[in-house]
Structures are given as C-alpha cells and as structure tokens.
Amino acid sequence: MKAYVIPRPCLTEAKNITGINNPGIYFLINDEGGTLTEIYIGQTRKGIDRMNDHKSHKGF
C-alpha cells in the first residue's frame, strides 16, 4: 500500500508517478484559509484520472 499527498495544483504532474493510476481510496481535504472545513472520502479504480475528474467538478 502506498500513500501520496498531492496538492490540487500538482495533479497534472502527478500522472507521471508510477502506480498512481491503480485502484485506491482517496481523501479530498478542504483547508481553505488554514482551517479544515471539509473532507471527502472516495474510492477509485482509475487513480489520478478520478482526481482530475474531481478537479473539474468539486469546489475544493
């Protein structure tokens, strides 16, 4: 099992990480202004592809 911390602005570059497109569980964390306000927990079969989908559709 591997864990990655990928800030939203770095998603495009993250596609080059070996194994990043494997199935997994992910957390989207909204810490706008230094305050934790939301956490979204999801699962994916397509790793970074799912993150890019959220980048287009999630407000955080």
Mean pLDDT of 1-11: 86
- pLDDT per position as a tens digit, 12-53: 899 899 989 999 999 988 888 788 888 999 999 988 888 888
Q: For the chain, give every domain's residue range.
A: 8-57
pLDDT at residue 1 greater than cutoff 90: no
The pLDDT value given to residue 32:
80
How long is the chain?
60
Instruction: Kindly compute the dihedral angle of the four CA atoms of residues 47, 22, 46, 11, in this order, to the nearest 10 degrees.
Output: 30
pTM of the entire predicted model: 0.72
